[in-house]
Amino acid sequence: MSIPRPSPLIVTEISYGLGNQMFQYAIGRRLAHAANGRLILLFKQEYKTNYARSFGLKHFNISGGGVRDERVDPGAAAAPRMRARLADRIAWFARRFRKIPIIRERTVHDLAPGTHATLFMPELLDWRGGVHLMGYWQNERYFADIGDIIRKDFMLKTALDERSQAALARIQAGPSAFIHIRRGDYLKPEHIALYGVRGKDYYDTAVALLRQQAGPDLRFFVFSDDPAWAKEHSIGGDSAEIIDWNGPAPERDLALMTACRHAIIANSSFSWWGAWLGEKAGQIVIAPRHWYKSIPLYQDILPERWLRL
């Protein structure tokens, strides 16, 4: 009698904010689906920022093991010992017992500013064995062929709160578009040098272009980590509605963004997912031409069908 071989183990490290976590999950989900393997979400505790992040994937209908409904903190001292032991045990099991290879994605810091910059690893599309993934994997080509599965996995497990449900009804009542503004940590000097911050000119130009292409009746809904700035600068025009009550629950903002027909996004993985999950026939997405200020030729993250401004 033959002994059945164990399913390939797909370990994907989960770190940083919700948008990054979604990319990290999506590539792992696709590789596990292709290999008929077992997906493990491995918490990563190496943070270089001075603010806490939460495990946002817990709000969605995701699959995979090793998930814990706990806060992901920047300091090792703040991490519960039980979770740390779990991570160590999974990593040891993956590396030693199953002998799976570790694949590390290059970072944007490895890219030469004057060259065509890409981090995409096409060989992963044909990968059918176990693997331990370390990186951000911000490219839809890693999971586009199971897009329906990813969109289903990223549906909220619980209903929206009453105020957000009312906003959803307004979004669905007519032609709508979301505007996402990322400021917050992007205003730090080191982040300004790397990412840059999209200002009023970008959003005013994008709004005018979208109205020209989608019609004058388009209503804008604004989402931002700095709603006061959006209000002060009248982003989206006087009739735009600023959604400013979901700060502790970004997954609710994401659900509302997804319901909009069109999108104007920042150079932010969070708004990227709002546009991608909400893809519809005839959708127009306007995105910054340069995702990284310091690496203007980097284009991995933007689908060809999106407009660059």
| Confidence (pTM) | 0.88
Q: Which long-range contacts (CB under 8 A, 24 or more apart) does 230-239 make?
A: 230/179, 230/181, 233/200, 233/203, 235/179, 235/181, 235/200, 235/203, 235/204, 235/207, 236/179, 236/203, 236/207, 237/207
Model confidence over 131-181: pLDDT tens digits?
999 999 999 999 999 999 999 999 999 999 999 999 999 999 999 999 999
Q: What residue spans define the domains of the chain?
A: 9-153, 162-308
Model confidence over 228-258: pLDDT tens digits?
999 999 999 999 999 999 988 999 999 999 9
Looking at the structure, give the CATH architecture of the domain made up of residues 162-308: 3-Layer(aba) Sandwich (3.40)
Model confidence over 74-100: pLDDT tens digits?
333 334 444 555 555 555 555 554 578
pLDDT value of position 87: 56
